[in-house]
Structures are given as structure tokens and as C-alpha cells.
């Protein structure tokens, strides 16, 4: 998936006002995800994304053993703060970003992401690829 296509998909699905808001939501979600998951997994996901978007994950990746520990409320709060959104809007945007990222990646990477997250955050990650 190309950079402009990924950003456009996020903007349309999350019903964001413009490309800037979509980019902000992507950046906020992936930087927060990078803080939460193991560095190796963040790198694997980043490698499947357009370079500029993958860098958001790499910027905050913390540890090969598991990243920072925080729950869904903290995850959504961090996304909201970074994107300048209220928490309900941030939760919706994060869900959409992770859905589009799932569509942009290959293989079982989203399953690995699901396994690396606690149950409450896992609810934001799509279970599998949508039917073609």
C-alpha cells in the first residue's frame, strides 16, 4: 500500500477532516503502539509500511522484551494527546489506523501484534484480514 493510499483510507474510514488530521492520527497511534510492543515486532510492522509511516513505530520502540506496560485507557489517552483529539475520537481513529495497517501488512504480523498486547488493547486490533 502506498503512503497516500494508506493516509486516504484512514481519513475516509475515520471520517477525519483532512489529510493532516489523518496523518496526525496515524503518527499518534503508531508512536503509541511502538511504546507498547517489543522492538522487534515494531520493526517487523514498520518494514511492511511505507517508509515515512513505518518511522513512526521506530521512533518510540523501546525494548526487545516487551515495551512499556499500559492499558487501553492509557493507550487511547496517549493517542488523544498526540493527535489533539478527545478520547472517543482517538479510540475510533486508532482502531481505523490499526485496521488499515493490518490490510497493508503481509502474513501473520497482525496475529503476532494481537498476541503481544493485553486483552483490552487487543480489542483495537482487527483479528484478521477482511475478505477480498
Give the cell for residue 49: 509500511
**Predicted confidence (pLDDT) at residue 38 exceeds the cutoff of 80:** yes
**Predicted confidence (pLDDT) at residue 61 exceeds the cutoff of 90:** no
Q: What angle do CA 53, 21, 47 make, to 5 degrees?
A: 10
Q: What is the pLDDT of residue 126?
A: 76
Instruction: Give tens-digit pLDDT for 64-111.
Output: 556 788 999 999 999 999 999 999 999 999 999 999 999 999 888 989
- Domains, in order of start, for the chain: 3-122 (1.10.490.110)
Selection from 104, 79, 77, 103 nearest residue 27 by Cα: 79
Q: What is the pLDDT of residue 83?
A: 97
> At a CB cut-off of 8 Å and minimum separation 6, what does 93 contact?
10, 14, 16, 25, 28, 29, 79, 83, 85
Q: What is the pLDDT of residue 132?
A: 41
Q: What is the mean pLDDT of residues 54-60?
A: 92
Letter string b/e over residues 77-96, b meaning 16 or more CB atoms within 10 A of that residue's CB: bbbbebbebeeebbbbbbbb
**Predicted confidence (pLDDT) at residue 127 exceeds the cutoff of 80:** no
* Helix runs in 15-86, H state only: 19-36, 39-47, 51-60, 72-83
pTM of the model: 0.91
Q: What is the pLDDT of residue 9?
A: 97
pLDDT band at 120 (very low <50, low <70, confident <90, very high): very high
38: phi > 0 → left, psi -120 to 50 → alpha, else beta; which?
Answer: beta
**Predicted confidence (pLDDT) at residue 40 exceeds the cutoff of 50:** yes
Q: What is the pLDDT of residue 128?
A: 53
Secondary structure element (H or E) that encloses residue 115, with its range = helix 109-116
Amino acid at each position: 500500500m502506498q503512503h497516500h493510499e494508506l493516509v486516504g483510507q484512514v481519513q475516509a474510514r475515520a471520517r477525519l477532516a483532512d489529510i493532516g488530521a489523518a496523518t496526525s492520527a496515524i503518527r499518534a497511534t503508531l508512536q503509541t503502539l511502538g511504546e507498547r510492543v517489543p522492538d522487534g515486532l515494531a520493526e517487523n510492522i514498520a518494514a511492511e509500511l511505507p517508509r515515512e509511516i513505518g518511522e513512526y513505530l521506530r521512533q518510540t520502540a523501546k525494548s526487545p522484551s516487551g515495551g512499556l506496560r499500559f492499558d487501553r485507557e492509557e493507550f487511547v489517552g496517549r493517542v488523544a494527546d498526540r493527535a489533539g483529539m478527545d478520547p472517543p475520537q482517538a479510540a475510533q481513529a486508532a482502531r481505523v489506523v490499526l485496521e488499515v495497517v493490518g490490510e497493508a501488512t503481509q502474513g501473520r504480523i497482525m496475529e503476532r501484534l494481537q498476541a503481544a498486547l493485553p486483552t483490552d488493547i487487543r480489542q483495537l486490533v482487527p483479528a484478521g484480514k477482511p475478505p477480498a
